[in-house]
């Protein structure tokens, strides 16, 4: 295993062991800003809690009675078909409670389409209940924008100001909103010169909003108790809404139940009017017949006969009425319209099974109609109702057929009995027989009239005693404290935003950064080892290892000097080549200071300024450049004349570039540079070649054959990541011998997790414990040092 392999293995182990620490310090070094962000957003959350309108939760509990009428056989059959299970009833009632039809009635009763706000405080407060005045739009203007709040100020008893325009009170006036009427309440004096804001809305919009806000849910799967709740900024308004909602729901349920009873009552009234006219006509006929035939009275036997005949005729009339009702019912069942809700009258029908089935059919149809106000016909609940209606109609049709068969049998028996009465009448004397006929008609009409009167009273009592199939368990009640906003959740949420936001910005900043900012950026792109890391310095001196030997950079250069022994083993390994991707990455600075460090260790070192296009070394060292490398390469200067000592450091020499030639690359391949380097290797312990950037010109590749080791300079937060991909090609093709990377100008305030050499980490320590010369600088204030870090 050679030295490079050992170094690579060591670097891989270090890289694998410091990933989590570096991730941590990537964010930790920004902790002052993260802390300020958390504090700032915490106070934003506090302001939000203070300015947000608190919402209270208002609840009520409603018991839905599951009253199923009809015979036990019918109920058992429907139960087996699972048509009227409690869960489906509960789902239906939930939809009815949340329907906009009922909610619109609530909004209209409570006048919720107009909202009043009191604006004297920082947060607008909505006023409800004790409003000193009322404003309503009688006729809205087409151009009016109701979404804009209307400012209203009551000036006195007779004058009001609307949007800074004065109008009289109690009189309809024309404004920008349309025709408006303002009326005063008993406590109007409290609102004088106080500004209110009024928001108008439509009943439909408010009803939709409240329906969406309303929450209706069963307390358990087995119970038929519904918990109804909503959130409102004004507890009393929420209570009024829920209480009025239940009142409207119960009233709608009673109206639905009374539709059949009202239909029956209407039918009875119509028949009573007809029978009353017939009875009046028959009584006149009796009176006229007695007067014309001078009949004062009739025998007791004839009276009994008339009574019996009248009762028989009354029964025939009842059966005829029932058959007529059944015929109407059959016609209704044949109607295929599923939206029909008006059931025919069941007057005179006393069969409990049929009455129960018809009542259930009416209830299902009404519930289906209510459900269609909120859901389409394709909804599974509507389909379930359709199936139930079809099944019930089939059962009702069967029951009607059976009942008609029984009634027709009874009617035939009564017809036979009536024929016997007719034969008896024929045996009575002519005058008495005529009297019997007219008195019989009178008795029939009288009995039928009495029967209808009795049924009308019974139906009226049933209509008056109708109650809803629900009961309020608890009247609407409000929570004692607001349920929104939840202070703990808001503080936690805003604090989390304050924490995540700067971390996210740091992450995105790193994600979008295309420059080298970490050692790991290099190691992810290339396998070329990083042999040294040199910090950034604000000092402008070219030879910091000489002028500041105790500085951090001087120590890092010494670490680089020490690491050379791993890659340059043997007495003949003397030539070092320095290059980079582009200009400005600090290769001249690193090469110059490394050469000085080698000279300080007792080695004789020479550095060649081979950047013949943009030389910098002689300028920084303030050395004369009249005679240099370019003169030697064209044969105008001797070897001994171009070597110049560097005054600042003993045993350290330089060959400046000389006058800038027009053809640097051609000069490097004319063969004289080969002779020069061989001579230098004989006279010096180290030969340092400061070459131009390899990413811009080919000079460095020409000089690569002379180098025993190549130092590729990468500058922190300056070198682009994509410029390092070429290194993989150089590394695999061996274009540069012993290719290594030196990371330069690392800004500690902008970096984290870098190792000093391979043994000391300074990524999380900024004080250095007085070990380096920089610690002797005057210390800054706490906040300056805090934010500088």
Please answer whether residues 117 and 149 qualify as being in contact, where contact means their C-beta atoms are separated by less than 8 angstroms: yes
Kindly list the distances between the CA atom of residue 660 and the CA atoms of 239, 633, 667, in Å, as whole numbers in the listed order. 93, 12, 11
Q: What is the mean pLDDT of residues 287-313?
A: 63
Mean of per-residue pLDDT scores for the chain: 79
Closest C-alpha among 438, 388, 204, 410 to residue 317 = 410
Q: What is the mean pLDDT of residues 114-122?
A: 78
Q: What is the mean pLDDT of residues 130-142?
A: 81
The token duo for 66 is 């599951």
Is residue 435 scored above 70 in pLDDT? no
Which range among 371-380, 383-392, 672-681 has the greatest average pLDDT? 672-681
Closest C-alpha among 659, 660, 581, 647 to residue 620 = 647
Q: What is the C-alpha to C-alpha distance for residues 668 and 583, in angstroms, rounded to an integer? A: 20
State the residue for tokens 């209110």. Answer: 196
Q: What is the DSSP letter of 515?
A: B
Is residue 601 scored above 60 in pLDDT? yes
Residue 44's pLDDT band (cuts 50, 70, 90) = very high
pLDDT of residue 765: 39
Q: What is the C-alpha to C-alpha distance for residues 701 and 332, in angstroms, rounded to an integer? A: 103
Topology of domain 513-788 in CATH is Rossmann fold (3.40.50)
Q: What is the DSSP letter of 346?
A: -
pLDDT of residue 653: 95
Between 227-231, 266-270, 425-429, the lowest mean confidence (pLDDT) is in: 425-429
Q: What is the mean pLDDT of residues 353-377?
A: 78
pLDDT of residue 334: 77
What are the E-state strand segments in 75-194?
114-118, 125-127, 133-140, 150-156, 159-162, 165-168, 173-175, 178-184
Please answer whether residues 651 and 605 qualify as being in contact, where contact means their C-beta atoms are separated by less than 8 angstroms: yes
Locate the domains of the chain by residue range: 14-52+485-512, 56-249, 253-474, 513-788
Q: What is the mean pLDDT of residues 185-197?
A: 80
501-526 tens-digit pLDDT: 999 998 888 788 888 888 888 988 89
Residue 317's pLDDT band (cuts 50, 70, 90) = confident
Q: What is the C-alpha to C-alpha distance for residues 524 and 114, in angstroms, rounded to an integer? A: 66
Please answer whether residues 435 and 293 qualify as being in contact, where contact means their C-beta atoms are separated by less than 8 angstroms: yes
Residue 71's pLDDT band (cuts 50, 70, 90) = very low
Q: What is the C-alpha to C-alpha distance for residues 105 and 579, in angstroms, rounded to an integer? A: 86
* Run of H or E including 563: helix 552-567
Q: What is the C-alpha to C-alpha distance for residues 629 and 660, in angstroms, rounded to an integer? A: 10
Q: What is the C-alpha to C-alpha distance for residues 24 and 608, in angstroms, rounded to an integer? A: 43
pLDDT of residue 77: 35
What are the E-state strand segments in 400-469?
none
Kindly list the distances between the CA atom of residue 350 and the CA atoms of 223, 353, 445, 456, in Å, as whole numbers in the listed order. 34, 9, 22, 15
Is 130 buried (19+), middle (13-18) or exposed (0-12) by CB count in 10 A?
A: exposed
Residue 709's pLDDT band (cuts 50, 70, 90) = very high
Q: What is the mean pLDDT of residues 191-197?
A: 82
Q: Which residues pair with 578 in a beta bridge?
A: 690, 711
Query: Between 524 and 465, whose confidence is greater?
Result: 524
Between 21-25, 187-191, 342-346, 505-509, the lowest mean confidence (pLDDT) is in: 342-346
For the chain, what percentages of helix, strand and coil (3-state, to nearest 5) are there? Answer: 55, 15, 30
The token duo for 285 is 């006929």
Between 213-227, 585-599, 747-761, the lowest mean confidence (pLDDT) is in: 747-761
Q: What is the C-alpha to C-alpha distance for residues 623 and 619, in angstroms, rounded to an integer? A: 7
Q: What is the C-alpha to C-alpha distance for residues 706 and 574, in angstroms, rounded to an integer? A: 10
Q: What is the mean pLDDT of residues 66-86?
A: 41
Please count the CA atoms within 13 angstroms of the CA of 493 that sit on its side-chain side. 11
Q: What is the mean pLDDT of residues 23-47?
A: 88
Is residue 86 scored above 60 in pLDDT? no
pLDDT of residue 127: 85
Kindly list the distances between the CA atom of residue 49 and the CA atoms of 41, 117, 622, 648, in Å, as whole numbers in the listed order. 12, 20, 67, 68
Residue 296's pLDDT band (cuts 50, 70, 90) = very low
Q: Percent of the chain beyond pLDDT 70?
A: 81
């Amino acid at each position: 295993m050679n030295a490079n392999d050992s170094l690579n293995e060591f670097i891989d182990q270090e890289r694998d062991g410091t990933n989590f620490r570096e991730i941590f310090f990537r964010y930790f070094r920004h902790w002052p800003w993260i802390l300020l962000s958390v504090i700032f957003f915490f106070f934003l959350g506090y302001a939000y809690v203070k300015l947000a309108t608190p919402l209270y939760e208002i609840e009520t509990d409603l018991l839905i009675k599951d009253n199923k009428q009809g015979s036990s056989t019918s109920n058992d059959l429907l139960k087996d078909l699972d048509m009227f299970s409690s869960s489906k009833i509960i789902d239906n009632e939930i939809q009815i409670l949340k329907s906009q039809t009922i909610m619109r009635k609530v909004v209209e009763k409570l006048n919720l389409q107009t909202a009043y706000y009191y604006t004297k405080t920082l947060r607008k407060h909505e006023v409800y209940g004790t409003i000193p005045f009322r404003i309503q739009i009688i006729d809205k203007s087409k151009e009016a924008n109701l979404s804009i709040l209307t400012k209203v100020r009551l000036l006195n008893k007779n004058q009001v100001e609307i949007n800074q325009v004065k109008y009289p009170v109690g009189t309809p006036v024309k404004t920008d909103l349309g025709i408006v009427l303002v009326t005063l309440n008993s406590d109007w004096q409290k609102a004088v010169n106080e500004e209110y804001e009024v928001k108008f809305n439509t009943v439909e919009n408010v009803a939709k909003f409240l329906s969406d806000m309303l929450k209706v849910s069963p307390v358990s799967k087995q119970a038929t108790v519904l918990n109804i709740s909503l959130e409102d900024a004004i507890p009393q308004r929420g209570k009024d809404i829920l209480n009025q909602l239940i009142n409207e729901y119960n009233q709608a349920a009673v109206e639905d139940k009374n539709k059949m009873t009202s239909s029956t009552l209407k039918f009875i009234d119509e028949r009573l009017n007809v029978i009353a006219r017939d009875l009046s006509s028959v009584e006149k006929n009796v009176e006229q017949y007695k007067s014309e035939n001078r009949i004062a009275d009739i025998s007791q036997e004839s009276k009994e006969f008339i009574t019996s005949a009248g009762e028989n005729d009354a029964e025939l009339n009842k059966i005829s009425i029932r058959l007529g009702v059944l015929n109407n019912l059959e016609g209704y069942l044949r109607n295929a319209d599923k939206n029909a809700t008006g059931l025919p009258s069941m007057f005179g029908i006393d069969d409990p099974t049929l009455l129960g089935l018809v009542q259930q059919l009416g209830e299902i149809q009404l519930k289906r109609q209510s459900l269609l106000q909120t859901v389409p016909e394709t909804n599974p609940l509507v389909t379930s109702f359709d199936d139930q209606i079809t099944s019930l109609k089939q059962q009702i049709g069967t029951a009607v057929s059976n009942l008609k068969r029984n009634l027709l049998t009874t009617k035939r028996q009564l017809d036979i009995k009536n024929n016997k009465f007719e034969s008896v009448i024929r045996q009575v004397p002519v005058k008495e027989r005529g009297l019997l006929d007219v008195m019989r008609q009178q008795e029939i009409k009288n009995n039928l009239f009495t029967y209808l009167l009795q049924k009308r009273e019974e139906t009226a009592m049933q209509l008056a005693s109708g109650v809803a199939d629900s009961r309020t368990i608890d009247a609407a009640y409000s929570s004692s404290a607001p349920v929104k906003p939840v202070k703990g959740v808001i503080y936690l949420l805003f604090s989390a935003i304050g924490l995540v936001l700067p971390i996210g910005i740091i992450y995105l900043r790193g994600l979008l950064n295309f420059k080298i900012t970490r050692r790991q950026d290099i190691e992810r792109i290339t396998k070329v080892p990083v042999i040294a890391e040199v910090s950034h310095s604000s000092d402008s001196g070219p030879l910091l290892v000489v002028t500041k030997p105790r500085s951090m950079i001087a120590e890092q250069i010494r670490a680089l000097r020490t690491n050379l022994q791993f890659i340059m083993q043997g007495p003949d390994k003397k030539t070092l080549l320095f290059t980079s991707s582009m200009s400005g990455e600090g290769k001249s600075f690193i090469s110059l200071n490394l050469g000085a460090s080698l000279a300080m260790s007792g080695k004789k070192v020479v550095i060649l300024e081979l950047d013949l296009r943009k030389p910098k070394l002689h300028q920084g060292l303030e050395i004369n450049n009249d005679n240099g490398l370019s003169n030697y390469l064209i044969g105008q200067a001797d070897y001994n004349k171009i070597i110049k000592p560097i005054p600042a450091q003993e045993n350290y020499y330089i060959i400046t570039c000389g006058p800038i030639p027009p053809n640097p690359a051609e000069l490097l391949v004319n063969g004289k540079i080969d002779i020069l380097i061989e001579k230098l290797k004989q006279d010096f312990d180290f030969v340092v070649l400061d070459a131009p950037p390899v990413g811009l010109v080919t000079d460095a590749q020409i000089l690569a054959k002379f180098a025993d080791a190549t130092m590729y300079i990468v500058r922190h937060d300056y070198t682009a990541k994509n410029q390092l991909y070429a290194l993989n090609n150089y590394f695999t093709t061996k274009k540069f011998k012993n290719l290594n990377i030196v990371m330069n100008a690392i800004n500690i305030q902008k970096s984290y997790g870098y190792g000093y050499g391979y043994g000391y980490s300074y990524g999380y320590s900024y004080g250095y414990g007085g070990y380096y010369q920089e610690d002797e600088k005057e210390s800054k204030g706490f906040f300056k040092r805090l934010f500088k870090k």
